[in-house]
Amino acid sequence: MTTEEKNTVLQTTLLFLLMPVMVVISSLTLAYGWNTYLPTIWSAAPSMNWAQAFGITITLRMLLPNGYYEEEPDMTTRFFNMIGKPLVLLLALWLGHFWL
């Protein structure tokens, strides 16, 4: 097995292991944003638990495309798309709740 093949196997394994972490972070971000902002906008809005946020996250991941790439993205781009974006959104939601 060449070095390039080993790197590809390692990257694929790492992404496969990070996928559950990504789903949990995305679900918690969705639940936090829903429970923080929606009751402010609409007082009769029900709260969302983690299981509901998990279901919505999985459904949206299947329905919405992740984007089209001209070439295969590198490992840092994949990592940021999986973990970084939900964390940045969570930080933005947390900072935004101070102005409510």
**pLDDT tens-digit series, residues 27-76:** 988 899 889 888 888 888 888 898 999 888 888 877 876 666 667 777 77
Nearest by Cα to 89 from 57, 64, 63: 57
Number of structural domains in the chain: 1
Residue 90 forms part of a structural domain: no
Residues listed for the chain? 100
Residue 72 forms part of a structural domain: no
Residue 14 forms part of a structural domain: yes
Decide: pTM greater than 0.85: no
Max Cα distance, the chain (Å): 60
Residue 44 forms part of a structural domain: yes
Residue 78 forms part of a structural domain: no
Residue 15 forms part of a structural domain: yes
Residue 89 forms part of a structural domain: no
| Domain span including residue 8 | 3-63
